Chains A and B, each alone.
Chain A
């Protein structure tokens, strides 16, 4: 079991994840932007404007903010917490919680407790936000009408991963220190045997770790690819556009008016203020 999950599975996961993502991206690259379907809402004139538009959509969820504040709050909270949790996994474990120590006046100890508290807070927020999105998915009529089983399963699955992760923080009998995790990852990365590591005797960790592996294996074949799809799609509909210049050839309005074009040569004609139009 430890051999399978702790030693072998991670390599399989990485390979499938990387190949899978490249497979999906390759399928997209193989197609073309055939016609100009830029959205004129409004036209973007410079690449700077394009960057701002795509950036605010990707990181601040601009459209949700404009059209549905409740969804905006939930989705942003979920994704921001997720970003922090993922970031925390990398920097926190990587530096053993001393990531904030570079700030003047923050000691390593303070940094570690900061790292700990932030981890806990974002862990809870992420769980709450996922739960909120799940409840929304199960209660709002149009969204219920959109659901496929996988849409619900993904949220449940993520809740599970996050829930199990949170358990390791709340129940000290399952608590995991930063150091063994770092050592474990380093060992995997340098192809050292890890089976005898104590970390792998923690059943909750094993469950969390297995679920994450499954997540990464399924990722390239799931809707989670919207992480990349988002940019690919925006790259189609948000690009620069330049209007052809207005102004018609050989027009001299002043001369035309001076010549009285259109005014009846013989005088007369009907009242021009009639209500005909």
Chain B
């Protein structure tokens, strides 16, 4: 089903798919009752959620600051209204005012229709936190979306895309279902490519005990090969002892996006086990926005044991070396006009703002900021893995990227058709590859380490 009563919805996992990720779907007639039960359980835990439910004054500031509302003008895509989809129920079942005053204060009885509405609108939100960034109180609607999706997941409603990714992760340790032999082949192939294209001889070790555990996005093996290749070149250039763990060739963690309990924790523990086996001293993360947030900000509170390793991002490390003058970079090797799309999770949740700029300015001779940029940047429209390909949702994705397209156009980097849109996150890349075509932006999408790697001066 890609539509429910006029609402676009991602095609959903079958009951069989859900069982693969350990969920027994709740029968439709029990869903409303169970939804309230699960909500009651979860609302007693998360203060971030309770405050979002109880503090909003409906000032409306978040509306024009959410790319989903800007792109669709759908009232339910106003962040405060997205939260209202759950707040109605929260009011009705868990507050005195909701019980006494009902619809006067916006309380509403739970229904299957409402649950289906959740499925539509919590999968249009990309959890980009721009609403939290602009709200006078700091209300983070992303927290509401997390919980909306969690409830749906427990009820047995999860997009097929997400459930497949969850199952693949459990099976082989990455989202793209690549088994170890394929990983090894790809890495070998990349070393050859690095020689052919850049004239350098590098190694890309898999499962070789080493000081640095590098966690790439699995999409980098397939869709963004230069990101992985250039990360390899970077490590080789600095003479690092590094390796990629075949147990987790995945910087992303879709558990963070649809199931913050079992799936997210399971992925984290898998990584920590691998780090121990490979004698790791430090974990360095690859280009993946949500995955970096899930790692940097959530591993400390989700891991089942104390974490022994510092975890930093590849861009943090590259910027650090650039600031110390240890990387010799020639920005003229990247002379095409470049602009930077700030992945939301990097700038609003992980503090990567400055370091990305240190990297890009040192590696490109013609860099232009878009407006707004940094903390204020707008999402690409694909955040939180809403990369659905069924026609209804694909059309939504075009709408959701409207603001991004306008921003890129205004920089002028694509006006001669040879611009570069640097988008250092696998989900941003997957969203933007087709979207720059849909919106005719005249730019090519690339990662950030791609640019750094290309600018390296070897001799």
A residues whose Cβ falls under 8 Å from a Cβ of B? 24, 27-28, 30-43, 57, 61, 63-64, 66-68, 71, 75, 140, 142-143, 145-151, 153, 221-223, 225-226, 229-230, 232-234, 236-238, 241, 243-257, 259-265, 268-274, 276-277
Contacts and interface: CB of A to CB of B under 8 A. Distances in A.
B196 A270 contact: yes
A256 to B, nearest CB: 3
Interface string B327-339: 1100001100000
Interface in B277-315: 281-282, 284, 297-298, 300-302, 310-312
B239 A67 contact: no
B211 A145 contact: no
A229 B135 CA distance: 13
Given A35-B298, A64-B61, A251-B240, 9 more contacts: A32-B46, A34-B301, A41-B347, A67-B65, A151-B57, A236-B140, A271-B199, A273-B333, A277-B197
Contacts of B347: 40-41
B59 A71 contact: yes
Contact of A259 (B58, B211, B239, B282): B239
Nearest to A225: B54
Contact of A229 (B46, B49, B137): B137
13 contacts: A28-B54, A33-B48, A39-B140, A41-B133, A142-B63, A142-B64, A226-B56, A243-B351, A249-B281, A251-B238, A257-B237, A263-B458, A269-B201
B212 A248 contact: yes
Nearest to B284: A248
Contact of A272 (B44, B58, B199, B316): B199
B98 to A, nearest CB: 9
Label chain A's interface by main secondary structure.
Answer: loop
B211 A32 contact: no
Nearest to A246: B320
Contact of B50 (A28, A36, A149): A28
A230 B349 contact: no
B348 A150 contact: no
Given A41-B133, A148-B105, A67 B61 contact: yes
Contacts, number: 267
Contacts of A146: 58, 60, 63, 75, 78, 80-81, 84
Q: How large is the interface on B (under 10, 10 to 19, 20 to 34, 35 or more residues)?
A: 35 or more
A208 B353 CA distance: 53
Contacts of B30: none
Nearest to B233: A262
B138 A234 contact: yes
Contacts of A66: 134
Contacts of B453: 277
Nearest to A264: B201
Contacts of A33: 47-48
B103 to A, nearest CB: 7
A263 to B, nearest CB: 6
A31 B50 contact: yes
A222 B58 contact: no
A77 B100 CA distance: 33
B238 A36 contact: no
A226 B316 CA distance: 38
Contacts of A31: 43-47, 49-50
Interface in B323-359: 326-328, 333-334, 347-353
A262 B230 contact: no
B199 A233 contact: no
Interface string B133-145: 1111111100100
Contacts of A221: 95-97, 100
